[in-house]
Amino acid sequence: MKSFKKIILGSAVLLAIIIIAYFAYFNPTQDIVSPKVIENTNTELIEWNTRELFAVFVDPKDIAVINGQKIPMKGTFRLKSELTDTYAEIGVYDKKNKPLFIIPLFTASAYSKNGFYDFYNGQCDTCLTTKIVSIDELAEQSSANAVKILELLGYDSITDIELDKNPDILSKYEKVIVLHNEYVTKNIFDAITSHHNVIYLYPNALHAEISVNYEDSTISLIRGHGYPESEIDNGFNWEFDNTRPYEFDKKCDTWEFYNISNGKMLNCYPEQKIWKDKEFLKALKEL
| Count of domains forming the chain | 2
If asked whether residues 146 and 265 sit together in one domain, one would say: yes
If asked whether residues 118 and 192 sit together in one domain, one would say: yes
69 lies in some domain: yes
This prediction's pTM = 0.83
Task: Tell me if residue 237 falls in helix, strand or coil.
Answer: coil
149 lies in some domain: yes
Here the CATH number for the domain that contains residue 143 is: 3.40.50
Q: Of the candidates 63, 84, 105, which is a domain's last residue?
A: 84
Q: What is the DSSP string of 155-171?
A: -EEEEHHHHHH-GGGGG
The closest of 101, 82, 69, 266 to 175, measured between CA atoms, is 101
Task: Tell me if residue 188 falls in helix, strand or coil.
Answer: helix
**Cα–Cα distance, 114 to 239 (Å, whole number):** 30
Q: Specify the DSSP class assigned to residue 36.
A: E
Q: Specify the DSSP class assigned to residue 250.
A: -
Give the dihedral sign, CA 271/275/276/279. positive
Full domain range(s) for residue 68: 24-84
Question: What digits encode the pLDDT tens for the residues 20-72?
Answer: 443 333 333 333 333 333 344 456 788 887 788 999 998 888 888 877 778 77
Cβ atoms of 143 and 183 within 8 Å: the answer is: no
Question: What digits encode the pLDDT tens for the residues 185-242?
Answer: 999 999 999 999 999 999 999 999 999 999 999 999 999 999 999 999 999 999 999 9
Mean local confidence (pLDDT), 143-164: 97
If asked whether residues 73 and 111 sit together in one domain, one would say: no
